[in-house]
């Protein structure tokens, strides 16, 4: 920020300030080294035939717009370059999937709710009661989305992805469908205690009627 203010004061572009160019060089070097180190370790430990990766968003609310843009651009570029290189060297297939709501969707019953994700490590499904590590749960969802049957989600906008996931759960919860395990009181309790309190449904009132 100090460098940016000084450049503005002097009427120069940031790219014309030597300290800025040096800092950007260090940032690029750090990102490239970390991407290489982490992916090399992953391949050495697991020797995967297929890598399922998110369409990554490397931005952080704690950083400035300028820094987020730099991290996102550099990080994605180095990641794609490294993944392509691994494919050339080891024949690893890379499958990119849509990560939307993968951290909030239950990998067992498919229910999506922001309350499912207690914290960065804990996942507890409000519908079926499934408990587990939040990272593992999200990884299972990503793996499922890598299948040909789930290809429709890959390039679906985020809001439409949420609608699709909620609709799937709604259809499974219709009368006659097998009840989800772990819901006390059966289907009526599921509707009243879980589905009706889902904050996401405020944006999709038509889905509530699906359960009628």
Task: Give the per-residue pLDDT at 78.
Answer: 86
Per the structure, the count of domains in the chain is 2
Residue 194's pLDDT is what? Answer: 73
pLDDT (average), residues 51-78: 70
Is residue 106 one of the residues assigned to a domain? no
The answer to whether position 22 is within a domain reads: yes
| pLDDT at position 91 over 90 | yes
The residue among 47, 51, 48, 67 whose CA lies nearest residue 59 is 67
Which carries the bigger pLDDT value, residue 29 or residue 208? 29
Query: Does 85 reside within a domain?
Result: yes
Whether 139 and 91 share a structural domain = no
Q: CA separation (Å) from 144 to 96, 133, 154?
A: 12, 17, 11
pLDDT in tens, 150-201: 877 877 899 999 999 998 888 877 655 554 444 444 444 455 567 778 899 8
Q: How far apart, in whole angstroms, are the C-alpha atoms of residue 122 and residue 130?
A: 11
pLDDT reading at 209 higher than 80: no
Residue 91 counted as domain residue: yes
Q: Which of 67, 97, 127 is the last residue of a domain?
A: 97
Residue 23 banded pLDDT, cuts 50, 70, 90? confident
33 within some domain: yes
In a domain, 108, yes or no: no
Q: What is the Cα–Cα distance from 27 to 77, expressed in whole angstroms?
A: 13
CA-based torsion, 27, 121, 102, 38: positive or negative: positive
Do residues 159 and 187 share a domain? yes
The CA dihedral of 37, 92, 151, 120, to the nearest 10 degrees, is -30
Q: Please say which residue of 97, 131, 156 terminates a domain.
A: 97
> What's the confidence (pLDDT) of residue 84?
92
Give the domain extent around 140: 114-210
Percent of the chain with pLDDT over 70: 74
- 120 and 196 housed in the same domain: yes
The mean of the pLDDT values for the chain is 81
CA atoms of 178 and 28, how far apart (whole Å): 52
**Other residues' Cβ atoms within 10 Å of the Cβ of residue 4:** 13
The reply to whether 81 and 124 lie within a common domain is: no
pLDDT at 117 over 50: yes
Q: Inform me whether the pLDDT recorded for 212 exceeds 60.
A: no
Q: Quick one: average pLDDT of 31-51? A: 92
In a domain, 168, yes or no: yes
Domain presence at residue 199: yes
**Whether residue 71 sits in one domain with residue 8:** yes
Question: SS3 letters for the chain?
Answer: CHHHHHHHHCCCCHHHCHHHHHHHHHHHHHHHHHHHHHHHHHHHHHCCCEEEEECCCCCCCCCCHHHHHHHHHHHHHHHHHHHHHHHHHHCCEEEEECCCCCCCECCCCCCECHHHECCCCEEECCCCCCEEEHHHHHHHHHHHHCCHHHHHHHCCCHHHHHHHHHHHHHHHCCCCCCCCCCCCCCHHHHHHHHHHHCHHHHHCHHHHHHCC
More reliable by pLDDT, 186 or 81: 81
Picking from 97, 125, 153, the residue at the C-terminal end of a domain is 97
Judge if 93 and 125 occupy the same domain: no
Q: Is-contact 132 101, C-beta < 8 A?
A: no
> Do residues 60 and 8 share a domain?
yes
- Domain co-membership, 48 together with 136: no
């Amino acid at each position: 920020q100090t460098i940016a203010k000084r450049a503005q004061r002097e009427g120069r572009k940031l790219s014309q300030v030597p300290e800025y160019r040096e800092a950007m060089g260090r940032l690029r070097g750090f990102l490239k080294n970390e991407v290489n180190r982490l992916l090399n370790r992953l391949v050495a430990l697991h020797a995967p035939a297929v890598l399922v990766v998110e369409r990554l968003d490397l931005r952080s609310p704690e950083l400035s717009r300028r820094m987020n843009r730099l991290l996102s651009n550099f990080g994605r570029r180095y990641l794609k370059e490294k993944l392509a290189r691994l494919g050339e060297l080891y024949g690893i297939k890379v499958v990119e999937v849509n990560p939307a709501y993968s951290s909030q969707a239950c990998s067992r019953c498919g229910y999506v709710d922001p309350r499912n994700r207690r914290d960065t490590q804990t996942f507890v499904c409000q519908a079926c009661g499934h408990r587990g590590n939040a990272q593992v749960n999200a990884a299972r969802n990503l793996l499922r989305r890598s299948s040909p049957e789930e290809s429709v989600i890959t390039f679906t906008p985020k809001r439409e992805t949420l609608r699709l996931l909620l609709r799937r759960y709604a259809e499974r919860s219709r009368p006659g469908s097998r009840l989800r395990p772990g819901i006390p009181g059966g289907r009526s309790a599921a509707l009243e205690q879980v589905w009706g309190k889902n904050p996401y449904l405020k944006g999709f009132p038509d889905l509530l009627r699906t359960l009628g």
